[in-house]
Amino acid sequence: MGMDFCRQDPECDYYFSLDADVGITNPETLRILIEENKKVIAPMVSRHGKLWSNFWGALNTDGYYARSEDYIDIVQAKRVGVWNVPYITEVYLIKGETLRTELKNKNMFTLNGGDPDMIFCKNVRDKGVFMHISNRDEFGRLISTDKYSTTHLHNDMWQIFENPVDWKEKYIHENYSKIFDEDYFEQPCPDVYWFPLFTEKMCDELVEEMENFGDWSGGKHEDVRLAGGYENVPTVDIHMNQINFEKEWLHFLREYIAPVTEKLFPGYYTKAHAVMNFVVRYRPDEQPFLRPHHDSSTFTINIALNNKGIDFQGGGCRFLRYDCKIESPRKGWSFMHPGRLTHYHEGLPVTKGTRYIMVSFVDP
């Protein structure tokens, strides 16, 4: 193992151990830890919104976890510093010289079949070597892997509940917060708003999930997926519940669409509930356009999932009441517009390639 390689190499200055369920976000982590000049030191990381971390502040008489009086304050950074602790795990730095002297035993993790991390820390303590945890800086976080599913093409998409910070960093557009801070949105047509929402990765992975699933509707009026079995304005589409993503999608609507709605349509407080959530595919030889219609929603979001001029030609949306066209949607940006009464609209013909959009009829 790596620790033993460091012991055998006199030029190995440090051994850094990092488990798969740790996300280091601070590129200066190693420099910061080295500058602390400790024999064994760990950067403090915890699960988002929880007290679960990579250290114990105290042990009981059996050598297991015991709550120390300052544990919560350290995890929540109410007390900041470098702390001598009896147990560290997941991520830590050890001086190479320490491994070649005080901790030169190769069997640091084995003792009567117990937990390897507990055994390692006991052996370190028994050698009189102090272990430290630092919360002086923000280093990253623990990733929750207990409920991580591997049954999808892009499994991270389903992590909006378990790892919401990582999900947001990966899938929400970098300028999303500017909607609220800097009024970073446009109004290309009356009461039609346009704002950044998804990263390119989210757009690509959602399209790939749908194509991997592959069971596109035929764009016919008869639709067994619907309660009445009939769709008045059919599209070639796949619903979120078909890929078992509806629960995650509804949470996304509450977390990211509801605040935008309240910003753009003040006085309306959405329930962020939607029955119809689906990805639509437009092709010249399949379904190139959509006839004029109203949506069965209080408001609709329509997210562009690929690029005009690169992936397809043509396309767009026209609002008939205002004779207003939006012909160059931006990948990852969403429209938001009223669904009934005023915003009668149509999908303009795609003349080349394949266009994908994600649609939700919110508050039906």
- Which residues participate in catalysis according to the annotation? 355
CB atoms within 10 A of CB 284: 17
Angle at 300 between CA 286 and CA 246, to 5 degrees: 80
Structure tokens at 189: 């047509």
Neighbour-count burial for 154-192, b at 16+ CB within 10 Å, e otherwise: eebbbbbebbeebbeeebbbebbeebeeeeebeebbeeb
Alpha-carbon distance 162 to 142, whole Å?
Answer: 11
Query: How far apart, in whole angstroms, are the C-alpha atoms of residue 134 and residue 115?
Result: 24
Distance CA 300, CA 295 (A): 7
Closest of 194, 207, 107 to residue 157, by C-alpha: 207
**Which residues have a Cβ under 8 Å from the Cβ of 325 and sit 6 or more positions away?**
316, 317, 318, 319, 348
Q: Which residues contact 39 (CB under 8 A, 6 or more apart)?
A: 94, 95, 98, 102, 129, 130
Closest among 114, 121, 110 to 86, alpha carbons compared: 121
Q: What pairs with residue 24 in β-bridges?
A: 140
Provide the angle, in degrees to the nearest 10, between the axes of the packed helices 200-213 and 164-171: 100
| Residue 279: both structure tokens together | 């990805």
Alpha-carbon radius of gyration of the chain: 27
Yes or no: say if 315 and 347 are a contact pair by the CB < 8 Å rule.
Answer: yes
